[in-house]
């Protein structure tokens, strides 16, 4: 029998309605820097650069459902200072896939949503769902890789909404090695590896996507590095239960990126 997604909508947590409202909009990057960054030479180091997902000064090319390229022009003048590009790509393994499990709203996996994690900043939505059954396994995962066109140093960012609703999802995250934890609330545990992922302590404590900070994890890569990967899967023991209260989809959000770099 076809699934009535409209009927399902009314009984699911705020996550579904929130993500549905975050339909893809062209993400933009604004690079802000301290005064010395825009010195006489275009190639001078630019400390404290901020990549904000919903600012101006960017062109964005969506190549596919799981790949996007963002180009930033630091001075807004063609040819004066080289652009910085950020490529976002996703690789799914096992029975993990993009967006909604039922496909009733949107299957976009890379969306931009305003004001995530109580940070008063936009976040890139990493939105996925699994068709696996039984307890969540690492084999069913999404790997989100972010690649800069030039190496960056002192890269910091916050991943928000790492939480759980025992009836459908329990977020588990592994990060590329080499990071240090800047801040992690008592509501989260783990070391960010495949065997000990960052995950919620409480198995049934969903966090508000917009205002909740209990699922916020902030990390730093001293670098220099050119790319990092966030690997993400669902540890819920209820996977595969196709009922109005089980939909096996999940989302976390990547906030603004702060880093130092030389444009040339």
- Measured distance CA(146)–CA(250) in Å, rounded: 20
- Measured distance CA(254)–CA(161) in Å, rounded: 9
Closest CA to 30 of 110, 125, 112: 112
pLDDT at 9: 31
pLDDT tens per residue, range 161-198: 999 987 788 999 999 999 999 999 999 999 999 999 99
- Measured distance CA(61)–CA(155) in Å, rounded: 23
- For residue 122, give both structure tokens: 């936009």
pLDDT at 62: 74
Where would I find the beta strands (DSSP E) of the chain? 46-51, 58-64, 67-72, 84-93, 96-98, 110-113, 123-130, 141-160, 164-165, 169-175, 179-183, 188-189, 199-200, 217-221, 225-234, 249-254, 257-261
Q: Which residue range(s) make up the domain with 217? A: 5-261
Closest CA to 23 of 145, 158, 125: 125
pLDDT at 17: 43
* Count: domains in the chain: 1
- CA 114, 111, 213, 55 dihedral sign is negative
15 upstream amide cis, omega within 30 of 0: no
pLDDT tens per residue, range 236-255: 877 665 554 556 788 999 99
Residues of the chain with pLDDT under 50: 1-14, 16-18, 20-39, 104-105, 244
- Measured distance CA(20)–CA(12) in Å, rounded: 12
Closest CA to 29 of 57, 69, 1: 57
């Amino acid at each position: 029998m076809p699934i009535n997604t409209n009927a399902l909508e009314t009984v699911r947590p705020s996550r579904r309605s929130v993500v549905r409202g975050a339909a893809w909009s062209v993400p933009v990057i604004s690079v802000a820097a301290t005064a010395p960054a825009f010195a006489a030479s275009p190639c001078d180091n630019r400390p404290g650069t901020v990549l904000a997902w919903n600012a101006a000064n960017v062109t964005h090319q969506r190549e596919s459902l799981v790949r996007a390229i963002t180009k930033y022009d630091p001075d807004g003048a063609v040819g004066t200072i080289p652009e910085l590009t950020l490529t976002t790509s996703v690789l799914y393994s096992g029975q993990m896939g993009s967006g909604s499990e039922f496909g009733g709203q949107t299957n976009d996996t890379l969306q931009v949503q305003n004001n995530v994690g109580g940070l008063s900043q936009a976040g890139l939505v990493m939105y996925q769902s699994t068709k696996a059954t039984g307890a969540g396994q690492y084999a069913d995962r999404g790997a989100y890789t972010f690649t800069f066109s030039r190496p960056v140093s002192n890269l910091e960012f916050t991943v928000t909404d790492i939480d759980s609703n025992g009836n459908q999802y329990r977020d588990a995250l592994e990060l590329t090695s080499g990071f240090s934890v800047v801040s992690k609330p008592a509501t989260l545990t783990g070391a960010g590896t495949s065997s000990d992922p960052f995950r919620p302590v409480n198995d049934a404590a969903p966090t508000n996507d917009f205002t909740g900070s209990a699922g916020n994890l902030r990390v730093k890569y001293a670098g220099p590095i050119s790319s990092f990967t966030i690997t993400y899967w669902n540890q819920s023991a209820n996977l595969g239960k196709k009922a109005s209260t089980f939909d096996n989809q999940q989302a976390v959000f990547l906030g603004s990126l702060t880093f130092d770099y030389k444009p040339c």
